[in-house]
Amino acid sequence: TTEFGWFEEEEEGYAEKYRGAVDSLKIENGVLRRYLTYFAALTRPDNIVLIRGDELEGIISSLVSEGKLIRLNGKTYPNSYLYRSDPSDVARSEKNTYICTPEREDAGPTNNWMNPADALARFRDLARGAYSGKTMYVVPYILGPEESPFAETGVEITDNPYVVANMMMITRSGKRALDRIGESTRFVLGVHVTGSLNPEERYIMHLPEDDMILSVNTAYGGNALLSKKCHALRIASVHAKRDGWMAEHMMAIEVVRPDGRAFGITGAFPSASGKTNLSMIMPPSDMEGWKAYLVSDDIAWMHSVNGSLYAINPEYGFFGVAPGTNERTNPNALDAIRHDTIFTNVALTDSGEPWWEGLGPRPPHLIDWQGRDCNGCEQAAHPNSRFTTPILNYRQLSAKYSDPRGLKVDAMLFGGRRSTLVPLVREARNWAQGVLFGAMLRAETTAAITGKVGVVRQDPMAMIAFCGYNMADYFSHWLRMGSMVKDRPRIYYVNWFRKDSKGEFIWPGFGENMRVIEWITGRVSGEITKGIETPIGILPEVDDIRAPGVSRERLEEILSVDRDGWLRELDEVEAFFSQFGDRFPVELRKEIERMREGLENW
Ligand code: GTP
Ligand code: SPV
Ligand code: MN
């Protein structure tokens, strides 16, 4: 992190007052001490608490006694709690999220942009005195296995104990992180101010050149848990481009077949589109001997090692979508969230248990996510309600999770919600076409982001909201990674979300997705050589997808190519790409032309 010279006179007076408090924390890192002094002088807390690692219990019990956390049924959900966020603050808000670079072009046309100096000025106005009467918490954290050379460190400053509790669950935090930071200046600083929660004055600002994140007037998820989307994706993506690796919005699993052969698979799907569920997949009962172990449910950092690509999970816990989770769709998640879990914005039953749409039969009486009596109300849990659970609670964790090098990646998936057009699965002919698959990712929007639900939007690599720099350069970086890695993973595009004319899902999804993975392992291992070569990639022969629950007719429908539909899709994709002008890579343009020509002659 670069040192900064923006102490203002006004804060300088307060700085004197806080210098002693900061010194008493005995932090050896001089840059961090200066930051803490400055931000304390700006926000003016009553006291400062440095998180060392054993504070979680105390923070939770004080939240409980203040009535901010509700203790759930101790028999069925031991050490678990319900939190209700402000109703105006229930999802990531992309319109308030900014990449702050000196040049607008470096943020690119798909990010909101602000000049770093303006971002700091705005933050100072909104944050001044905002911690008064409160505690300033300092949370040092590590992203990645502690022993990994690929791990990064960060420090989040916040006035919000709910944020601290979540950060302590989803990152490796406390003394071990501070020790790892040592005297290094290479840590990311996040400053979070709960503030008024006024959505009109909400800002989530990223300053990649300073390794700094400033977040104000929100306390929800990815807006406030700054290690997650802000550091591990937006800031890390800038590091990754600079240093030749990949910070991706991907789940990662190790799939082991009955013959003992293991495959590393990563997958990028937009928010609330199936990453966590796929990462926790339970193979269907007739696929005896198939196993899936989790490495990551949301973010993968991938590095080239001896010519292969390896994925680590920067996180230490889940912040997963609750609705839709049940004994059939995701038994492994249900098992993990049965203890030591914070639920946010779910409904509450009369027996003190959490409830959400899709969990099972609706109890006769519920309290909804806003704490109101729910008599016949339409929605009891918020559609973006979530669980925060330590990853060590998860029963099928891969040994690769703690491996400093991570999981070797054999296949990468892209996908998203598309009720029409996009086939169940297709394989890219080569890396460049695979990059085009990712760049062409378009999906129906979900409740994970504030705004309209169900509209198709372009979301390249599921990174539209998370790439910390110009997305055209990001595409070039993907292409470059293809030449850096010799043993390149194969790239696939999947779609679990095709619907029939009645609006029902055609593909059963969840555990059944293992049948698509079975085909992928056959392709990767070279056992399945036949496939249908089409301009949009290689599709499986219908007989090569073993899906007892889906009729042949319906399977054929989701494994076909709608030529005219794809030509229209290409028009829309190209209209999206046109905003990048000359910065858009030539190689990718060639791939588009090849696909278009192929379709025209198809
Ligand atoms: P974020 O955590 O927001 O990044 O989302 P995610 O990508 O992890 O999505 P998640 O796995 O939590 O799934 C979101 C919603 O999609 C849940 O309601 C799931 O039940 C549903 N879902 C996940 N996988 C499938 C599937 O294969 N088929 C269908 N029909 N729904 C699915
Ligand atoms: C997402 O929206 O992509 C999430 C939830 O995973 S949040 O952590 O709020 O970003
Ligand atoms: Mn998720």
The tens digit of pLDDT for each residue in 421-466 reads 999 999 999 999 999 999 999 999 888 888 888 899 999 999 999 9
Indicate which atom in ligand 2 lies nearest the CA of residue 320.
6
β-pair type (135-143, 537-539):
unpaired
> For 6-10, 112-116, 186-190, 264-268, which range has the lowest pLDDT when averaged over its residues?
6-10
Indicate which atom in ligand 1 lies nearest the CA of residue 297.
8
- What's the rounded Cα separation, in Å, for the pair 219 and 67? 17
Indicate which atom in ligand 1 lies nearest the CA of residue 274.
11
Runs of H (alpha helix) within 296-379:
331-336
Nearest-CA residue for atom 13 of ligand 1: 274
CB atoms within 10 A of CB 64: 13
Q: Which two tokens stand for residue 21?
A: 């408090």
- What's the rounded Cα separation, in Å, for the pair 388 and 379? 21
Measured in Å, residue 320 CA sits from the centre of ligand 2 at: 8
| DSSP percent split of the chain into helix, strand, coil, nearest 5 | 35, 25, 45
Whether this model's ipTM surpasses 0.85 comes out as yes
pLDDT in tens, 289-345: 999 999 999 999 999 999 999 999 999 999 999 999 999 999 999 999 999 999 999
Q: Identify any residues that bridge with 402 across adjacent strands, giving them in sequence order.
A: none
Instruction: Confirm whether 273 is a catalytic residue.
Output: yes
- Ligand 2: lining residues by beta carbon, under 6 Å: 92, 221-222, 228-229, 271, 298, 319, 448
The distance from CA 314 to its chain's CA centroid, rounded to whole angstroms, is 11
- What's the rounded Cα separation, in Å, for the pair 303 and 257? 25
Nearest-CA residue for atom 4 of ligand 2: 271
CB atoms within 10 A of CB 587: 15
For residue 276, is pLDDT > 50?
yes
Mutation to probe ligand 2, out of 271, 273, 385 (largest number of atoms < 8 A from CB): 271
Mutation to probe ligand 2, out of 83, 85, 89, 92 (largest number of atoms < 8 A from CB): 92
Indicate which atom in ligand 2 lies nearest the CA of residue 465.
3
Measured in Å, residue 92 CA sits from the centre of ligand 2 at: 6
Mutation to probe ligand 1, out of 223, 250, 277 (largest number of atoms < 8 A from CB): 277
Indicate which atom in ligand 1 lies nearest the CA of residue 448.
3
Measured in Å, residue 413 CA sits from the centre of ligand 2 at: 19
Measured in Å, residue 265 CA sits from the centre of ligand 1 at: 17
CA-closest candidate to residue 380, choices 389, 390, 372: 372
For residue 3, is pLDDT > 50?
no
The average pLDDT across 56-67 equals 98
Measured in Å, residue 411 CA sits from the centre of ligand 3 at: 20
DSSP assignment letter at 449: B
Measured in Å, residue 321 CA sits from the centre of ligand 1 at: 7
> Any idea which ligand is nearest the CA of 450?
2
pTM score, two decimals? Answer: 0.97
Q: Identify any residues that bridge with 318 across adjacent strands, giving them in sequence order.
A: 389
Report the alpha-carbon angle 108-490-494, nearest 5. Answer: 75
Measured in Å, residue 387 CA sits from the centre of ligand 2 at: 12
The dihedral built from the CA positions of residue 206, 212, 217 and 222, taken in this order, carries a sign that is positive
Nearest-CA residue for atom 6 of ligand 2: 271
Mutation to probe ligand 2, out of 192, 228, 297, 388 (largest number of atoms < 8 A from CB): 228
- For the chain, what is the mean pLDDT? 96
> Any idea which ligand is nearest the CA of 466?
2
Spot the catalytic one: 148, 173, 273, 476: 273
Classified as helix, coil or strand, 216 is: strand
Measured in Å, residue 409 CA sits from the centre of ligand 3 at: 20
Measured in Å, residue 133 CA sits from the centre of ligand 1 at: 40
The distance from CA 465 to its chain's CA centroid, rounded to whole angstroms, is 10
Indicate which atom in ligand 1 lies nearest the CA of residue 329.
20
- What's the rounded Cα separation, in Å, for the pair 271 and 230? 14
Nearest-CA residue for atom 1 of ligand 2: 271
Indicate which atom in ligand 1 lies nearest the CA of residue 269.
7
Mutation to probe ligand 2, out of 89, 319, 450 (largest number of atoms < 8 A from CB): 319
Nearest-CA residue for atom 29 of ligand 1: 509
Place of tokens 């002088």: 41
Per-residue model confidence (pLDDT) at position 446: 86
Q: What phi, psi does 302 have (nearest 5°)?
A: -120, 130
Per-residue model confidence (pLDDT) at position 448: 80
Indicate which atom in ligand 2 lies nearest the CA of residue 223.
9
> Any idea which ligand is nearest the CA of 322?
1
Q: Check residues 139 and 121 and name the one with the higher pLDDT.
A: 139
- Ligand 1: lining residues by beta carbon, under 6 Å: 269, 271-277, 298, 320-321, 323-324, 329, 448, 496-497, 505, 509-510, 513
Residues 381/426, Cβ–Cβ less than 8 Å: no
Predicted confidence band of residue 1 (pLDDT cuts 50, 70, 90): very low
For residue 7, is pLDDT > 60?
no
CA-closest candidate to residue 298, choices 332, 329, 270, 328: 270
> For 1-15, 398-412, 507-521, 523-537, which range has the lowest pLDDT when averaged over its residues?
1-15
Q: Check residues 477 and 451 and name the one with the higher pLDDT.
A: 477
Nearest-CA residue for atom 5 of ligand 2: 222
Measured in Å, residue 459 CA sits from the centre of ligand 2 at: 14
Q: Tell me, what amino acid is at 191? A: V
Nearest-CA residue for atom 18 of ligand 1: 324
